[in-house]
Amino acid sequence: MTTIDRVVGAGVDRIDGPAKVRGTAPYAYEQDPGEPIAHLAVVQSTVNRGRVTRLDPARAEAMTGVLTVLTPDNAPRLAEGLASDLPVLQSLDVAYQGQVVAAVVAETSEIARAAVGAVLVEYAAEEPDVVLSADRQDLYAPEQVNAGFATDSIIGDVDQALGAAAVTVDATYETPTQHNNPIEMHTSMARWDGDSLTMWDANQGPHTIVNDLAKGFGLDRGQVRVISPYVGGAFGSKAFTHPNQMLAAMAARVVARTVVFELSRQQMFSLVGHRTPTIQRVRLGADADGRLTAISHEVVEHTARIMEFAEQTATPTRLMYAAENRRTTHRLARLDVPPPTIMRAPGETPGMFALESAMDELAAALGMDPIELRIRNEPAQDPERHVPWSSRHLVECLRTGAERFGWAGRDLRPRKRTEGRWLVGTGVASATYPTRRRRAQCRISVDGRGRYTVEIDGSDIGTGAWTALSQIAADALATDLGSIELHIGDSRLPRAGGAGGSTGLASWGSAIVLTARDLRRRLDDEYGGQLPADGVSVDGGVEGEGPHAKTHSMHAFGAHLVEVRVDQDTGEVRVPRATSVYDGGTIVNAKTARSQFLGGFSMGVSMALHEESLIDPRLGHYVNHDLAGYHVATNADIGELDISWLDEPDELANELGLKGIGEIGITGAAAAVANAYWHATGLRVRDLPITPDKYFRELDLA
């Protein structure tokens, strides 16, 4: 075989780019099943807790073009044991506002939506309980938190160490409910062929959806096919099955037609999860030299009454800094809200806001540079697991970032720099996210002309997986990119985990590398290194975590340095420039990686300054449930971003030496903005987002 220059690491243009620009890359709503498509729209509960006492679909059923109205009386029965809110239309009970209580299927989307208003629904409603507070008497400890982490961790005597510390910080930080808002709304198109179900769907991994559909409808997994080659963003909201998939399949079975269900933007705020709000008390104790002696991080957050989801908010505190005495806890309140779910970097995102803000407050109390404080508390090994790092380059990220940003000479004192009406400040925060690998299967075939077909049920949710996986395959097979044909996003392909938790490329890429090795070995052993005329195919993959996962602590790291400007007259905030440096292991595609880092950081700025889902405590609904009221950062909000990374592969993490990059960009970013805000104004805002009104609130309190 001819040796080809490596393409892993190069900034290769997106393979799927031309098709997306030309509009020929079909998303879920744009699929052509080869027959007329019926449309589904839903009637949603207007109460948070109670029961439907009257449901009359007669007027809707009489409308021209309406095919059927599904209610709990006539909807297909689903199997017992489905999680969360998946047993849709199986009961008259109401557990949250926005819950689906009926569904209209019609010839057009316009008719379906018009008919929704003709369905008469009455309720026996109970008073909603939707307000989270840290002093509730019904808070409880879940058995574990998301991703299998222990609920609490306690090492040493934290209270004694805090009492004896030379300098302490005791502060409470709050993050609000936030909603995933990918550009593509959740969409499911379903068709039945006898007892077999095909679904074109916007999701982060077809096999996850297959399992729930098969269970719900009493099918074998082989009777369900889920296809999702192109997905327009997700951020965690499309990682799991939601009511839209179940409803589309139910409706298609009833009307014996292909049915499509596209959620509206407003429905995204009730039917596909959200990031839980948090109340976090962080206490730090340090000696006079700034060395931590105690860390305590206690988290209160909400979950839904019908489903427990416990975000792992305090888990990054378990590994970031050295201290002999340590405590992290999580407590939940069951409220009458839609079920929460994961959102980009679940746990680490709100948790790092609190921890990194507290570290900044400790640096101020010590009169110490906040970068020096972090470096001084760098742990030699994982401080809770007591195992070595597979690799850890946080200090290098902080120092490199400081040099690139121009940190040297920074006045430690706040509110000392002005430019006209603008107060100017700078802030820093660390970033981290776990490195994991999941089980993944792969098939690689080659024909007699040297064309390779790589099949794996990975997902490209806009992150560049089409391109990065092709690069990995080309290098692993010692061929060029043009000789690779990649097939992903289809549950008929070899099974692999979904895109999420920064595990996608680590898992799928490792499977491709190992399968490619098997193929090349077979070609050498059986064909003398030549390509057989009729081709050859090999199945392979990885079984999950590698041999070093238990013996080493594996995490990506990073550092954000930010400049913030605050208008003294209006409280308006601007972020004109920022520098982020990452320790992400091997970077497969320099171009798409930069986009991921840039997007993650921008989402952190959005969290710091804009994002907040406001719930009405009396009526229990999210009042700003669209992009007019739920604000996100746009181009005008983001200034000059200096994105870079260290060239440090993690050889123990996986076959590629990568650590994952999709999540880490957002972790710590909001804290860096908040810390720079304090440096600019001398005001510490501990409840996100930092809106202009809080400037005047803090001035009044100062």
Residues 494 and 369 both lie in one domain: no
Of 542, 572, 605, the residue at which a domain comes to its end is: 542
Residue showing tokens 């309190």: 701
Residues 111 and 222 both lie in one domain: yes
> In this structure, is residue 329 part of a structural domain?
yes
Residues 429 and 441 both lie in one domain: no
DSSP state of 307: B
- Tell whether omega for the bond before 689 is within 30 degrees of 0, i.e. cis: yes
Question: What residue ranges of the chain have pLDDT lower than 70?
Answer: 1-3
Distance CA 697, CA 687 (A): 12
Residues 535 and 604 both lie in one domain: no
Residues 425 and 310 both lie in one domain: yes
Residues 527 and 409 both lie in one domain: no
Helices (H), 119-256: 158-164, 206-217, 243-255
> In this structure, is residue 3 part of a structural domain?
no
> In this structure, is residue 8 part of a structural domain?
no
Q: What is the pLDDT of residue 3?
A: 57
Residues 445 and 423 both lie in one domain: no
DSSP per position, 593-611:
HHHHHHHHHHHHHHHHHT-
Residues 407 and 525 both lie in one domain: no
Residue showing tokens 């948070």: 48
Residues 604 and 684 both lie in one domain: yes
Asked about 126 being catalytic, the answer comes back as: no
Residues 524 and 505 both lie in one domain: yes
Residues 416 and 562 both lie in one domain: yes
Q: What is the pLDDT of residue 635?
A: 86
> In this structure, is residue 7 part of a structural domain?
no
Of 542, 563, 583, the residue at which a domain comes to its end is: 542
pLDDT tens-digit map of 218-270 = 999 999 999 999 999 999 999 999 999 999 999 999 999 999 999 999 999 99
Domain limits at 443? 17-26+437-542
> In this structure, is residue 139 part of a structural domain?
no
Bridge-based pairing of strands 292-304 and 278-286 is antiparallel
Q: What is the pLDDT of residue 1?
A: 43
> In this structure, is residue 667 part of a structural domain?
yes
Distance CA 309, CA 305 (A): 10
The H or E element containing residue 364 is: helix 348-366
**Domain containing residue 193: CATH number:** 3.30.365.10
Residues 59 and 70 both lie in one domain: yes
> In this structure, is residue 4 part of a structural domain?
no
Residue type, 211: N
Residue 155: Cβ-neighbour burial (10 angstroms; 0-12, 13-18, 19+): middle
> In this structure, is residue 382 part of a structural domain?
yes
Query: How many CA atoms are closer than 13 Å to the CA of 678, on its beta-carbon side?
Result: 23
Options 262, 356, 612, 663, the catalytic residue:
663
Structurally, the chain folds into a number of domains equal to 3
User: How is residue 648 written in tokens?
Assistant: 């440090």
